């Protein structure tokens, strides 16, 4: 049965849960420095990630527009899979960026993710982007023998100044997949560096359009000041209902869609998106799966990035390419960093190949021996 609702960033916009209307969730993890600094549970699905990591529930749902299942999973040492765009119906989910939004499960391990995904996926005529395909038996199909599989390592993800613990975990991941029988190949995804800027144009553009319906008439709250007319009601409602990050996205989105700037930003970002999808198409000629880190850092402190939206956005750098290409992608725990905090390994697969992604996730899970749990400090 359903246990309850969980917190998330407002309209799923954020990477730390701090934009939530209800206040943020605090990660159950603490650094091993003896301090008690409150850490971000990841975002936007920080309530889901934390409830699982704190053992309040075995699994939870999330939506992933640009990493909101994978990055929070990585931050708290659990697993999460964003399936191929269209696998899970979005009916009933508030739209953020419709060409990217996809639901998926988060759970303690890969098998539970497979069980959950099987229950969540399937054709729904109420969602026009729903894939009309049978749902494979992912749990029954779990198999961590990767002989015959090629795993690509994209050189563009080895960013200058990459965190050394992240780089070491990635190397461990490569060794584990090799041990499981996979052949490792170096690949190139040349347009990777344009993915984040393209995402932060396309997602706000779609959000600004989707959120236009929150006018105080039929959706959301209504703020009707004394003697106010219709326009005043719209303005008061939107000022009262939207937090700072959501307003920032609406402003960016309406700007990049405005007549004078549409071609310079929105059209350009759509072209970049096509190139990113093509990068993956070329990569699939050389490999079946791709292995990379989920995020460029472990969980950061609450408040650490709130005044600098760009550094917050940068946390999504490894997550957004798979989103822009609509591909299945999963995060599984890869180990702990020097601060004692979980790090996630990301597996990206071909469209519809959730089985391949889950199997590689299982192969890592069996070898990573990740048994660490958040200390029960509460
Ligand atoms: N952190 C990203 C953003 O703020 C992704 C959010 C999501 O996937 N919902 O847009």
38-52, 57-71, 208-222: lowest mean pLDDT where? 208-222
Average pLDDT over residues 107-131: 98
Cβ atoms < 10 Å from Cβ of 254: 16
Residue 160 pLDDT: 85
The residues facing 153 across adjacent strands are: 186
**CA–CA distances in Å: residue 269 to residues 30, 205, 272, 276, 314:** 38, 10, 5, 10, 17
**What pLDDT digit, counting tens, does each position of 27-53 carry?**
999 999 988 999 999 999 999 999 999
Cβ–ligand 1 distance for 66 under 6 Å, the answer yes
Could you count the other beta carbons within 10 Å of the beta carbon of residue 135?
Answer: 16
Pocket test for ligand 1, best of 24, 42, 67 (most atoms within 8 A of CB): 67
List the single range of 4-18, 326-340, 363-377 with lowest mean pLDDT. Answer: 363-377
Report d(CA 349, CA 358) in Å as an integer: 9
CB of 15 within 6 A of ligand 1: the answer is yes
What global pTM score does this model have?
0.97
Does the CB atom of residue 64 touch ligand 1 within 6 A?
yes
* Portion of the chain with pLDDT greater than 70, in percent: 99
Q: Is the CB of 315 under 6 A from ligand 1?
A: no
Asked if the model's pLDDT at residue 220 lies above 80, the reply is no
Q: What is the pLDDT of residues 129-154, one digit of tens each?
A: 999 999 999 999 999 999 999 999 99
What whole-number distance in Å separates Cα of residue 220 and Cα of residue 214?
A: 6
Burial class for 134, CB neighbours closer than 10 Å (0-12, 13-18, 19+): exposed
Interval 271-313: pLDDT, tens: 999 999 999 999 999 999 999 999 999 999 999 999 999 999 9
- Residue 147 phi/psi, 5-degree rounding, is -60, 135
């Amino acid at each position: 049965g359903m246990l309850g609702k969980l917190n998330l960033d407002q309209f799923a916009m954020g990477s730390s849960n701090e934009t939530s209307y209800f206040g943020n969730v605090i990660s159950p993890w603490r650094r091993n420095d003896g301090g008690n600094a409150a850490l971000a549970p990841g975002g936007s699905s920080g309530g889901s990630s934390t409830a699982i990591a704190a053992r309040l529930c075995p699994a939870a749902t999330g939506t992933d527009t640009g990493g909101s299942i994978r990055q929070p999973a990585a931050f708290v040492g659990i697993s999460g899979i964003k399936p191929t765009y269209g696998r899970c119906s979005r009916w009933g989910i508030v739209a953020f960026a419709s060409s990217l939004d996809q639901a998926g499960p988060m759970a303690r391990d890969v098998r539970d993710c497979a069980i959950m995904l099987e229950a969540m996926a399937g054709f729904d005529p109420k969602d026009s982007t729903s894939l009309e395909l049978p749902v494979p038996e992912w749990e029954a199909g779990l198999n961590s023998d990767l002989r015959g599989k090629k795993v690509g390592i994209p050189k563009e993800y080895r960013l200058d100044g990459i965190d050394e613990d992240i780089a070491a975990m990635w190397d461990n991941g490569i060794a584990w997949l090799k041990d499981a029988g996979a052949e490792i190949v170096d690949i190139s995804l040349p347009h990777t560096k344009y993915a984040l800027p393209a995402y932060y144009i396309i997602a706000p553009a779609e959000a600004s359009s989707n959120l236009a319906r929150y006018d105080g008439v039929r959706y959301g709250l209504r703020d009707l000041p004394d003697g106010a007319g219709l326009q005043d009601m719209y303005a008061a409602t939107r000022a009262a209902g939207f937090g700072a990050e959501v307003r920032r996205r609406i402003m960016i989105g309406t700007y990049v869609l405005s007549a004078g700037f549409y071609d310079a930003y929105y059209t350009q970002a759509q072209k970049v998106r096509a190139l990113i999808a093509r990068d993956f198409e070329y990569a699939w000629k050389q490999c079946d799966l791709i292995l990379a880190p989920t995020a460029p850092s472990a969980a950061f402190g609450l408040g650490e990035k709130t005044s600098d939206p760009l550094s917050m956005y940068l946390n999504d750098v490894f997550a957004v390419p798979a989103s822009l290409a609509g591909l299945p992608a999963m995060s599984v725990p890869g180990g702990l960093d020097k601060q004692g905090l979980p790090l996630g390994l990301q597996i990206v697969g071909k469209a519809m190949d959730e089985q391949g992604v889950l199997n590689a996730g299982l192969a890592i899970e069996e070898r990573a021996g990740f048994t660490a749990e958040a200390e029960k400090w509460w």
